[in-house]
Amino acid sequence: MALKLFASKKAPAAGVETSTIIETSPRQPAPAAAVAAPAAPVGGRLRAYGLLFAIFATGSAALLVYQLRSSALATLQVSAASELQTLSQQIAKSAQLARHGNAAAVTELKQTRARFTELLQTLDAGGPFAGTTLPPAPGETRPALQALGEAWRQTAASTAKLAEQGDIFVALGAAVSTINTDNAPLFASSDALVRSLLANGAHPDMIAAAYGVITHAQRAAGHANALMLAETPNPEVAATLAADADRLRALLGRLKQSSAGTMHANLVGELEADAGATLLAVNSIVAGTHPLMQAKEAASNIARDSVPLLARSAAVSDALTRSASGFGALHVGAAVSALLALLALLLMARSYGADAAARRLETEQQRQRAEDERNLTQQAILRLMNEMGDLADGDLTIRATVTEDITGAIADSRSTTPSRSCRCWCGASTTPPRA
């Protein structure tokens, strides 16, 4: 019994060779799935995006490294400016100590002046600092740096004069120390002479001269100390000191002359010996009065200019700090390069994702086409089996439908065989029997 799924049987007319054709719808090609346009090769795009990412990432990293180095150098510049502030006050302190006869302060003053000049030159034109080489200060800090340079020129001149004549203060300090040290023995010798003169009824002029020695010795000591401790140059004090020394020397000469050949000669000699060191110290002070006044003026100028010098140094430090902490072109370049590198990375990921999606779509289309072809093949086989079933039932007029699928050649072969058999049978039935 044949399997009939698609055919319908028709009765043949008398005397007419007919054939029953299995009525089946011609195979319509399955609607092909929409075939996506072939995607452009992603390898080139990925390489291009990768190259852009590498370029921008490298540029961003290079800018960041350069920015870090620039920040480190800017920090060192701020440190140099801060040291200038410290040196400005150290110069004022050393000047005050040098004015009081401190020899170590004079040496420190020279070293501090040289260090300030070196740092200022480094900030202005670049140079070595803290084991590295600093670039010149940025342009936005130039006004503050120029103002500091102008203030330093005045202080540098005063410091140079004070450092050059610093030995004057040392000598003054030594002289004042000698006067102060010899003041007590001189007073004791004068007092002993006065007592001896009073006890022996000496001439009043000798007694007055002895008292004058005591008075002028005390006045000379006071004026010498005032001259050393004075904040500003005071030529009047130096002149008074010189007058006291002359008066003391004159009184000692009168006493020596008046006591010659008397019992008071020894006491006058002792008084003259005790006053000798004081007179030498006063003479050294008076001889150096002019350079001493110049050194005093230089020290006063240093003290006066230390406040604006500190303010200008602080202004330079603030300007450098603002310049280092601002958002400059290097930050913008590094940020833009990083954003472009991120964009290239996103485009690369997007391209890779699109390629993966296209490959999945192509795979699905291939699977769908293979399934459609399999279904069409199964339909063709079932149709052929149905047609062959009628042939098996003895209907030699059956002609199988010939299609372009895999069963087309089989159907064509099977359709030819029944027709030939039918013609052979018809010819045999019409041939007359032989006698």
Domain boundaries, the chain: 42-165+304-334, 167-288
Rounded to 5 degrees, what angle do the CA atoms 353, 355, 361 make? 105
What does each of the 435 residues of the chain score in pLDDT, given as a tens digit?
A: 344 444 444 444 444 344 433 334 444 444 444 444 444 566 788 888 888 888 988 988 888 888 888 889 989 999 999 999 999 999 999 998 888 878 899 899 999 999 999 999 999 999 999 899 999 999 999 999 999 999 999 999 999 998 888 888 888 888 888 999 988 888 888 888 888 888 888 888 888 888 888 888 889 889 888 888 887 778 888 888 889 889 988 988 888 888 887 888 888 888 888 888 889 998 888 888 888 888 888 988 999 999 999 999 999 999 999 888 766 777 788 788 889 888 988 988 888 888 888 889 999 999 999 888 888 888 878 877 777 776 666 666 666 666 666 666 666 665 555 555 555 444 444 445 544
CA dist., res. 401 & res. 410, Å (int): 10
C-alpha closest to that of 169 among 343, 289, 79: 289
Query: In this structure, are strands 127-129 and 132-134 parallel, antiparallel, or unpaired?
Result: antiparallel
Structurally, at CATH architecture level, domain 167-288 sits in Up-down Bundle (1.20)
CA dihedral 138, 142, 144, 147 (to 10 degrees): 150
Q: What is the pTM of this model?
A: 0.61
CB 147 within 8 A of CB 141: no
